[in-house]
Amino acid sequence: MKTVHTDHAPKAVGPYAQAVIADGWLFCSGQIGLDPATGKLVQGGVEAEARQALANLEAVLQAAGCSKTDIVRATIYLTDIHDFAKVNAVYADWLGAHRPARATVGVAALPLGASVEIDLIARLPRE
């Protein structure tokens, strides 16, 4: 197992890696809408948080040598399931035509008061 780290995504706020590579798979830890430069949650609501979380995940994907088209599974966690349509639109725009498997889950709370958290699993490109 190999850990992945990039300064273009927020540092882990707990005892975990931004991502790990195991047996040709990339497992990305959940990202919330933290600005990697400030370490603070972005302002502007759930859509801004979702965009930042996805930007953070894209930085981790790139650090591991992957792209969005390598994603096979995503999970979105929302503190308000009524935000589903807003986050879904941001997510669809970010992905383009690629459509991995996905689950969306309503949760009671997320770290640092975030409204949305997203994690990913991707397959590393074959060399």
pLDDT of residue 127: 65
* pLDDT digits 0-9 by tens, 70-91: 999 999 999 999 999 999 999 9
Question: What are the residues whose beta carbons fall under 8 Å from the beta carbon of 43, sequence distance 6 or more?
Answer: none
Question: What are the residues whose beta carbons fall under 8 Å from the beta carbon of 51, sequence distance 6 or more?
Answer: 33, 42, 90, 94
* pLDDT digits 0-9 by tens, 25-37: 999 999 999 999 9
For residue 58, give its domain range: 2-123
Residue with tokens 């689950």: 103
Q: Which whole number is the average pLDDT over 40-45?
A: 97
Contact between 41 and 32 under an 8 Å Cβ cutoff? The reply is: yes
How many independent structural domains does the chain possess? 1
Q: Which whole number is the average pLDDT over 106-126?
A: 96
CATH code where residue 65 lies:
3.30.1330.40
104: buried, middle or exposed (CB in 10 Å: 19+, 13-18, 0-12)?
middle
